[in-house]
Chain A
């Protein structure tokens, strides 16, 4: 867990992620996991006030509270830009961002950008996540594999993500392969680290009891070890998903002709701040949606297993 967070924290500044988090807020919170979502912010620690408590206890109420901050931000944005506090290059109005979206939709470009980016993220997340699960299980369960692979994997983890880019481009050219590979690398490490550490910390008393009753090999794994680490697997997967979006932008910023990251650089060169903000908002929205989907699977898996 902590090592994975460290990875996450260390990499964020490399890819303008800070801007996105500061502007919208929800992308960053989804990266940190389930606990830190914005709706948790108004919850008081001790005795809750009467109205707030009632709101907090219903799903609808929590959704409503979660919308408060975005609405306030949107209003502040609208009024400050309308009052001419910023030039339109610094910060365009919400309406012009909306119009930029409408225009891109009309030209049929927006869905292409979103589609290709989502595809890259999902592919990279699936490949990296599965590999992380497999290698993490192997190294977490086998002491031989641990001694053999851990130092090397640790060294690779220490390589900053962007250092891979020139090599990947050299090997795979500027196509889909190099981008998906980079995203897979980003998704691999959080899953690997959380699964590996969780497996090392499975209650040895339970493992011993199960072995005493004749469980071994695959049955021991599926009966004791995997259920014990299900919650960790999902925190790893959520971190990996956040990393996948982060690496997507890294990949697309450097070399691409489509995707949300391309939209960011392209807008920057053309001075289209409205599109730039649109891209950031879309990253926030899709990051949050994909994280919520994993959250749904997580709740199901924990109810079933843990």
Chain B
């Protein structure tokens, strides 16, 4: 909402992208299990993410949310089971997805601008790429810091740069690992609006890991609760919640309030105390 006036994602830039996927792609988890040595982290995750949907993933710390996203990106190979993007199994690093890591992971020796440009899809023309990067920097409110090095900006700024880098790719699947975790409340709201705006203009399937139940309720079409199930070791799909209503949603609605309590209960928090 706040951002709509400044958003002018120009279409002429889009047409130059050679590799950018212009279509949101479905993601399917088929009995995905992942162990590190003896330790089972993910235990038989079965789930289908619809093309173009925003899926929030919540769950206790250390339950394997990042691991699940990494499996989609091809950064982690499941011990058994398959992850599919648009029906083709993920084997190596997937070209069709982009990752905003839990930590910013910016190259310390390059400017913010060049770090963001790293996300541009292969084959982007020079001028088109530069224009796209400038536009993104404006959206994440970093234009004034474009020529700074990562160590010269704050943690929240670095996180926004990392988000911009992932957005620059215009991927079919956008993987966001707690992208707003380091932001103050106001910037966080702005960035959430930015994400929804970009999502409206450029179709992408978004998998968003978050610790913030309200953020999940605001942004997501569905919320996946990842948590140990049925006495197994390792996490599975403990619950899936359809979030009703079109965005932006009324934070004070009774329906969302009830979902909020359910979610907190799922996460093992006594909702009456909050």
Contacts and interface: CB of A to CB of B under 8 A. Distances in A.
Given A208-B75, A209-B101, A212-B75, A227 B118 contact: no
Specify which of A208, A212, A215, A224 lies most central, judged by the most chain B CB atoms within 10 Å of its CB.
A212
A305 interface: yes
A305 B190 CA distance: 33
Contacts, number: 39
A211 B99 CA distance: 11
A230 B122 CA distance: 27
A297 interface: no
A205 B105 contact: yes
Interface string A163-206: 00000000000000000000000000000000000000000011
Contact of A209 (B105, B108, B121, B122): B105
A306 interface: yes
Interface in A200-243: 205-206, 208-215, 223-224, 227-228, 230
A109 B122 CA distance: 62
B230 to A, nearest CB: 33
Given A213-B118, A213-B119, A224 B107 contact: yes
B122 A214 contact: yes
B225 interface: no
B242 interface: no
B169 interface: yes
B93 interface: yes
Interface string B99-124: 10101010111100000001101100
B129 to A, nearest CB: 13
A210 to B, nearest CB: 7
Given A212-B99, A214-B95, A206 B107 contact: yes
Interface in B144-187: 165, 169
Contacts of A208: 75, 105
Contacts of A215: 118
B107 A213 contact: no
A199 to B, nearest CB: 15
Interface residues of A, number: 17
Contacts of B223: none
Contacts of A212: 73, 75, 93, 98-99
Contacts of B73: 212
A223 B110 CA distance: 9
B162 to A, nearest CB: 9
Nearest to A302: B109
Contact of B109 (A205, A209, A227): A227
Specify which of A214, A215, A228, A230 lies most central, judged by the most chain B CB atoms within 10 Å of its CB.
A214
Interface in B71-87: 73, 75
A208 B109 CA distance: 16
A206 B109 contact: no
Nearest to A226: B109
B170 to A, nearest CB: 13
A205 B75 contact: no
Contacts of B105: 205-206, 208-209
A209 B93 CA distance: 11
B26 to A, nearest CB: 21
Contacts of A227: 107, 109-110
A145 B121 CA distance: 32
Given A208-B75, A212-B73, A213-B169, A223 B95 contact: no
A223 B169 CA distance: 18
A211 B93 contact: yes
B165 A210 contact: no
Interface in A116-155: none
10 contacts: A205-B101, A205-B103, A208-B105, A209-B99, A209-B101, A212-B98, A213-B119, A214-B121, A214-B122, A228-B109
9 nearest interchain CB pairs? A209-B105, A227-B109, A306-B109, A212-B99, A213-B118, A205-B105, A305-B109, A213-B119, A214-B122
Interface of A: 205-206, 208-215, 223-224, 227-228, 230, 305-306
